[in-house]
Chain A
Amino acid sequence: MRTTRYGAGFLALALALTACGGAGESGGGGQQAADSAVGVTKDAVVIGTHQPLTGPAAPGYSKISVGARAVYQAINDGGGVNGRKIDYHVEDDGYNPTKTVEVVKKLVLQDKVFAIVGGLGTPTHSKVVDYLTTEGVPDLLVSSGALAWDNPQKAPMTFGYQVDYTREGKIQGKYIKDTFAGKKVGYFTQNDDVGRDTQAGLDQFVKDQTVVRQGYDSANTDVTPQLSALKAAGAEVVVCACIPAFTALSILAAAKIGYKPQFVVSSIGADPATLSGLLQDFAKRGGASVSSGQLLAGLIGTGYLPDVAQTSDPWVAYFKGIHDKYIPKEPFTNTVLFGMVQAYTFAQALKAAGPDPTRQKLVEAMSSGSLKGPGLTPFGFSKESHAGYTGAYVFKINPDTTTAVIQPPSVTDRGTGAITAYTGERATPEQVNLLGK
């Protein structure tokens, strides 16, 4: 037992050493005052996010924060929002919910962020909503289309960003019903809220046409069995509610078994540039080379942001300028644009919160309904709704991997309401005039 005595000493020493991260009391938990402006100083605003920079969701999604960072740099070089520079903290959670909880607590308690912006992922972000609500931290523009973010009563600090999966499923379902009437439809969906919420929308229109439903888990990258089942059931149209890696895997698996359905892919996994890269990459690992143009041509997808190939779009041109200046080596993909629009939207809300922003003012700015552009459909933000983009357009991928809009933007609700064409005007970058007075 003589070791115990020393052991106790070592224990104390070891813990003392590990504790040197920071001394001194922090005020401690509990609901923060509504007029709190934690993380806001005279010349800076600290914000944070959790992203999968490693792990199963990293292919594709790890570039979102790269785009966002470029926009914040551009804003900071332009003098900041109301004179404050944006200090953007990105924490890697590897798409692991345990790690998400840890890094979000780090951002709130140690980095003392003003707000969490664009936290990515349904299984990950759903674990921190309660915490952020209790701590009174604004939780803006969650990168996920789950319905859970639109719940102002239970989660008053949380706001969505993407069009939710049910709205998107409805628009896809109606398009399929109108265009591919009588054809057999198969669902291929991620086994979580992505799949559940998407099917709730699709089923409103194509339930009768549906002959088979298959799911995948992001942990298992072999999707040949599911694609074989879709083929065996004779599905002519396959709706893929998949993240980018699994859209690419499905396309490759279908090609391998000689199956040529019409793919209809959700916005989360239909970025042609990201898909091209993944297709090449996966094929190379399998010892083959493929023509991504050939594989992607004719693929139908839905989206709510302008496509990077639409260079005449004022917002695409604006963000391309930032891209060329700050991240020229990074391919300019729709995924990068996703991060750029998200960052820009936060900056808009921050500006709308006024020269002395508080957390409460930021939340009010988000709910005010004043945020316009850069998306092609409007946000649903109001006092009663925290829904992000409220609709989508339908596009087809050309053989040169550019895209063509085949159905203009339309909007709908998350229930059983009608789908209507959206004709509203978008503000241009000049009209928003983010950096002006």
Chain B
Amino acid sequence: MTAPERKRVLPPLVRRVFFALAAFAVVVLLTLVTDEFTNLRIATIGYYLIAVAGLTLLTGLTGQVSLGHGAFMFIGAYTVALLVNKVPSFPLWADLLLASAAGGLAGLLAGAAAARLRGPYLAGATLALAVGLPALTRRFPDFLGGSNGLSFTVHSRPSAVVGAVPELRWQTWIVWLSVLIALVLVVNIVRGRLGRDFRAVRDDEVAASLSGIAVGRTKILAFLVSAVCGGLAGGLQAFLLGTAAPGSFTPALSLSLLAAVVLGGLGSLWGALWGAVALVYFQAWSEDLADVLHLNTDVANNLPLAVYGVILIVVVLAFPRGIQGGFHRLRGLLRRPAEKKENHENH
């Protein structure tokens, strides 16, 4: 936000809502011209986007590293699963709101502990969350379904559209609508006063505290917002796939979310989009590649991870600020070829 002041016609919130609507229109258009399975992938990008965006806010803006964000997705997913099974009369939007709230509550607790921890200690504590929380399902097998997890069907299509819109397409719309609403709120936070506090805490805690920012409270708030995003992402995943099982929320999920943040561009919400796209499509492409090349199983199994790792290394070497940083530099070069020095901006 170091951009020079420009003439602004609309207040920021209205403008963001407008962009969100435009983005939604783009998604709807995309789902209409692609087949149903591609719709599923677009929806998958959607819920990863909000999870990665939450983590971006936490790690990129306040400098708190979380290796356990999958745990908040776990909470969101099980909240929706339990609500659909036990309180079927609840509307979907209420289930999703409660999933976000449950994630937020867990984030508040985790954040309270995290505010006292730094660097590797924080990373370790959050990793423990990702490792330990899914084990709850085995402690309460009757309630949470044990290792089998819970399965259910979410009926979200109003009867009027059942014949007109295929299930997956409708679900994709719901996912993206929820994600875009959440993103508008997140952008407002990031660009507002709280966002400035976040960055101040990241850059220098002492200086921030001297300027009157309550450092501990700010860190907890960052955890809260980020966990709400994680909870929503998990809830949307459960809604989309009709399942919640501990095997889906391994520490590997948390690590790939963090990798997506770095890949997309640390600290940029646009970066979260590239990270989410990469999560879904690099995996799919490398699997297709392994298929086409008829590799033996050992190679084929490890190819997706290897490709992901190589891309991560290349991107970070070429653009230390991730894909979004790369776009940024490209744009700078195109726009101001005369200017020798380029201003790196923070988003």
Q: Chain A interface (Cβ within 8 Å of chain B)?
A: 1-4, 6-8, 10-12, 14-16, 18-19, 21-26, 28-30, 53-54, 58, 62, 66, 92, 95-99, 101-102, 105-106, 109-110, 122-124, 126-127, 130-131, 190-193, 217-219
Q: Is the CB of B33 within 8 A of A96?
A: no
Partner of B242, one of A14, A122, A130: A130
Chain B CB count within 10 A is highest, among A29, A95, A97, for: A97
Contact of A18 with B35 at beta-carbon distance under 8 Å, contacts A1-B12, A2-B6, A122-B148 already known: no
* Chain A minimum-CB-distance residue to B187: A4
Which residues in A have their C-beta under 8 angstroms from that of B287? 92
Partner of A192, one of B146, B165, B274: B146
The smallest C-beta distance from A44 to any residue of chain B, in angstroms, reads 17
B245 in the interface (beta carbon within 8 A): yes
Q: Is the CB of A18 within 8 A of B281?
A: yes
> B301-341, CB under 8 A of A: which get 1 and which 0?
10000000000000000000000000100010000000000
Q: Is the CB of A191 within 8 A of B166?
A: no
Q: Is the CB of A102 within 8 A of B151?
A: no
Which residues in A have their C-beta under 8 angstroms from that of B274? 14
Chain A CB count within 10 A is highest, among B153, B165, B270, for: B270
A29 to B135, CA, bound (A): 35
A30 to B36, CA, bound (A): 12
Contact of A11 with B166 at beta-carbon distance under 8 Å, contacts A1-B12, A62-B297, A126-B151 already known: no
The smallest C-beta distance from A188 to any residue of chain B, in angstroms, reads 15
A130 to B301, CA, bound (A): 28
B38 in the interface (beta carbon within 8 A): yes
Q: Is the CB of A98 within 8 A of B237?
A: yes
B205 in the interface (beta carbon within 8 A): no
Partner of A54, one of B237, B241, B301: B301
Extra contacts, 19 of them, besides A98-B247, A123-B245 (Cβ < 8 A), are A1-B8, A3-B3, A3-B347, A8-B22, A10-B327, A15-B45, A18-B277, A18-B281, A28-B36, A58-B301, A92-B287, A97-B248, A105-B168, A106-B37, A109-B37, A122-B148, A123-B247, A192-B146, A192-B147
Which residues in B have their C-beta under 8 angstroms from that of A106? 37, 40
Q: Is the CB of B270 within 8 A of A19?
A: no
* Chain A minimum-CB-distance residue to B238: A98
B21-44 with Cβ < 8 A to chain A: 22-23, 26-27, 30, 33-38, 40-42, 44
Partner of B241, one of A4, A127, A192: A127
Contact of A21 with B34 at beta-carbon distance under 8 Å, contacts A8-B22, A10-B270 already known: yes
Q: Is the CB of B19 within 8 A of A8?
A: yes
A15 to B45, CA, bound (A): 10
A131 to B154, CA, bound (A): 12
Q: Is the CB of B33 within 8 A of A23?
A: yes
Q: Is the CB of A4 within 8 A of B19?
A: yes
Partner of B248, one of A18, A92, A98, A105: A98
A19 to B31, CA, bound (A): 8
Contact of A25 with B241 at beta-carbon distance under 8 Å, contacts A2-B6, A191-B141 already known: no
Q: Is the CB of A102 within 8 A of B241?
A: yes
A193 to B237, CA, bound (A): 24
Partner of B273, one of A11, A109, A123, A192: A11
Q: Is the CB of A127 within 8 A of B242?
A: yes
Q: Is the CB of B42 within 8 A of A18?
A: yes
Which residues in B have their C-beta under 8 angstroms from that of A192? 146-148
Which residues in B have their C-beta under 8 angstroms from that of A54? 301
Which residues in B have their C-beta under 8 angstroms from that of A58? 301
Q: Is the CB of A109 within 8 A of B36?
A: yes
Contact of A96 with B37 at beta-carbon distance under 8 Å, contacts A14-B277, A18-B45, A127-B243 already known: no
B138 in the interface (beta carbon within 8 A): yes
B15 in the interface (beta carbon within 8 A): yes
A101 to B245, CA, bound (A): 12
B149 in the interface (beta carbon within 8 A): yes
Q: Is the CB of A21 within 8 A of B35?
A: yes
Which residues in B have their C-beta under 8 angstroms from that of A26? 35-36, 166
A29 to B155, CA, bound (A): 14
A105 to B42, CA, bound (A): 14
Q: Is the CB of B23 within 8 A of A105?
A: no
A18 to B237, CA, bound (A): 19
A19 to B44, CA, bound (A): 13
A15 to B153, CA, bound (A): 28
The smallest C-beta distance from B264 to any residue of chain A, in angstroms, reads 11
Which residues in B have their C-beta under 8 angstroms from that of A22? 34-35, 37-38
A57 to B19, CA, bound (A): 45
* Chain A minimum-CB-distance residue to B328: A3
Contact of A28 with B166 at beta-carbon distance under 8 Å, contacts A95-B247, A105-B40, A127-B241 already known: yes
A101 to B41, CA, bound (A): 12
Partner of B245, one of A16, A28, A97: A97
A27 to B148, CA, bound (A): 33
A110 to B42, CA, bound (A): 14
Q: Which 4 A-B pairs have the closest CB atoms?
A: A28-B166, A98-B248, A109-B37, A97-B245
